[in-house]
Structure 1
């Protein structure tokens, strides 16, 4: 409840209405007048005190000005010409006297209030002035000053009356200054008006009309500045007024006198301004004034309310657009607006800081998007350049693709490689700074994109040479600083920044021809043929390589692989993309062999990644040759193990099913191989056909039964060991033993 009341009181509408009511009610003006009359004396005293302090500061300024003059005289006294004059005041020394006139003229010009400077020697009564006068004798009014300066060792101020009641001021200073025995004097004729105007400065010059009087200790007027006009003559200065502020009536005018007296010089500063003007006839007006106030109160209240509504309406619309405060607050609308404005400023500053922090990342993203022309349009290029404030000029552009050769074989850790690439980017910009602006960024582990923009306008033919020279300089600089080699692909020159994606595409295509050119080369897009070609070879050769590897014939596979690479080398204008497609197909076939045979070699994905790291045909040939040999050898070992395992499975099946009807079909169905493979594998491992092993095993079993089971007939034993008829049993038994089953039993019985 208290918070709601506080909010109501702090509402701008209420505040505005209150101020409108206060401003519209005339009685408040009457009350203010009464308060003014009651506090007039106290206010005038305070104002007078301030004025006296200002006069004291002006007097202090006079003191500082005098000290400044004294310092100038002291500097003058050290001049060799002045020293010579004090020792030898001769009129005939014209060169010295001319020099002294120049010095005195310079001294007079240094101070706007010094009218004339005079140098006087009492021994020869010779005087030299800044006006060029060189003569004997000194003004009578200054002779006493010299004696006083000599006796007291101080500067003396002499004041002489002139026409119009004003005074002329002379400052007499012994030379050397403050010496116990001055040999000469310097006399400065000072304009009181300029002197005191400068000393007063702007401290006492305000919008209030006032009179200013400055007099000496004898009451002689030194300076006056009158802006007030009074109805009767005012006798100034009032010598009976002490330092401070005083109120005095002059006719119908109430005047305020502010007086300050210098304790050393005895000068008196009198500052006169009007304190209150008019007559005292305002008292009878109080009654009609009260009547008019009562009439104006109602009108004033209505006007205040209506004007407050009009003034508050725009503010109310602004407040309605602000979000509601999270907590109750006693702030008024203006304070809420100010707080919300401060929040917006803080958010803007935070956004600017965030933008500056991520500007390098945004620039890198922009450059990467240039490398992939499908991700950015021409309009988007212009927009990004303008937003990121990239310092491109309307000159020639070009794109370089830089690849670090054998990057994955470098003897550095990943962190060291990243630092190396960062240093390379900085070095590229520094290397190209004399002729072009370069922006470099990392595209992948081993490739950098460099965008170049020449500083000066050049024809395309000259620009092409400049870009080529720049590429060579970058390569030499990088290879000279680090133990690496780099290959650069140069794109197509373009005149406008919107064509940079095309230049990047051409630079990438040029770099792909590193496949033929080798490492450490510079490949210009215009030097290679990048149009697509028809597949120029039969994939049957690739299939043969894969089949040779599958059968374990490594030498045959390598021989065919060499034929493929010889074909590539003889047709170097075949696009590298197609070459890589062929080798990728070959690598995929070998990967399928590894995966299907479960060989202990690299998985297919790793093989494809490893192939992509090979940049030249020789590197690819060496790697694929080694891969084919390893895979063929593994297949050879795997095939031998598989034959043994399958033969043992066939033998175990026969041993476990001797008494059953066993055929080649039932065995092949059990081991899940073709009958031909079953027959070939069993003979390859055991040196006999499966049927020989089956018959010999049955004969051995029947021999055991014939010896041990006399209760069984020969026929029963034949059927029990797996023979289908008695004739087959007798024939096969006699084949392996040389006798019939009956003969074998009879021999065993004997």
Structure 2
């Protein structure tokens, strides 16, 4: 029976059949993802570290190339400088310098001196020429010629001539000038022009560029000679632009996308050599490193996959045992194994709960149950006598007085007293009263709730019984620091009247709030109360205020109906008391207005209610007027709430149309308008007919159609981002859901 009952409890949680080992596959996938991510990180670190080593090696090679080029060029320049220094002290050159007029004999001697070193000039890839500042003749190892011919031979242009004039022929100090020229044969040259002011001599050293500059075979590198802020010469595939950017920037700027290295010359202080190469060019080393990293990743992934399978099997083993154990209670259902275990556990909990309730119900003494059935009218009169005899309750057959006792408390502190405390206190009071009463007469007690219980006294109602009961309640209340209130429903002459006496006591207990903390309430007290004043207990006023504010119209009218029936139908109120009752009703309505803080119900309006109600000619019209006031107030509250909801819904719709291109959600709306997500969802559904997500997606699709119609050729990725979708595939599915075709097909149809 337990298995069948538990199976029924489980099926209430869901009827979907459980897919076999579904949780195992989820677990395995999770482990595999962790392994793959971990191996990806390890492989990336392997690639990163090895790439650092490759980059360091590349930097070392580039620095070595730059130093080697500097040493080679400096050697060439140093050789030329040494040769010039030797010529400066040569007797023939000195004699040539001292002659104020041209002496061809001395010129020939200088020519012969230069001829001696013609082979050395050719080996080192340069030619040399000697001339005076104020003489148009230039002496070279091959011949003598005028300056114009010589300048043309080494490729000096007109602007070069002007620069030489301005740089060398002004002032009496030594100067040197580097020029990048093209010779007659088209060979590019680098020409060094050096002035010796003391000798009035000018030396021209012209290098072939191919001898001086290093070769740049790569497709993304370049080399240049820079003097101050001037680019002298360069070679390589990058052209002059990167070097011009290097010269133009302050200090040593980082040329975009390039690695820049430079070094100063050891021969000329203001001369430096620069090497520029593109950053991280994909070369064979990088490819090889990537292949090695991929191999490491695959090996680690394979090992990790095996470990993931082992870990998933070990983790899943206890879950599988639990599933096999629970299968005896019913067919597995739910999304996966954990859902099946959860539903089975819930079923066991419910079954245990039902079992505990059953045990508790049968633990309840049958004697007490029989008394309850007697008071509640559940026991037929024909069966009452045999039942009383069966449970030894024959003393209840004669006259019985029914009293209800309640553990009362102050109105405000009562809200803070937990029910468990009141239940314990009520049980203590029941024990003390049973102990006191059992000394005087036979009695029976029956608990009703956490603060009330019934006492059946085998004695007729009398002043002596009432006083005795008042004394007992006061003594117990004083000892426990609580207040006890009792209501006597009268005497039941026979057992069949016990139900009537019980309900009379219940009715009398309702007057406990207007009896000025009376310990015992009787029917005589209520008659006197009805003849002396109106009935308007504080508890019923609270219920009325709460019902109106919460919008519970049915409850508000029910409370008002009880008040009007008691005061206008049951009681015979004098004109003065009726006026006081009407004033109390108006005061309650004014307090409701104050709590609602609505401008439509101000104090002035409330002051008009009292005279209008007092002018009613009879009781029926007074009732109708009061009911009408309640109806109008409830309707206005409902209308106001509807207007507020409509306004909020309009603001949400407006917000969607303004910010559809953002990633907005229902939680964002709730935070924006300071409401809960569930309230926003219900409000939006009620006022638009669509849920929030469908409405937002529909707006995005409409905006996308407008963009496609106005901008032909727009890309899907760009279109998705412009309407608030970060994923193009999600956008395509959304568009197809509402339009039946993809965005691309929609654009083709427009064409």
TM-score by length of 2: 0.26
- Rg larger in structure: 1
TM-score by length of 1: 0.26
| Larger relative contact order (CA 8 Å, sep ≥ 6) | 2
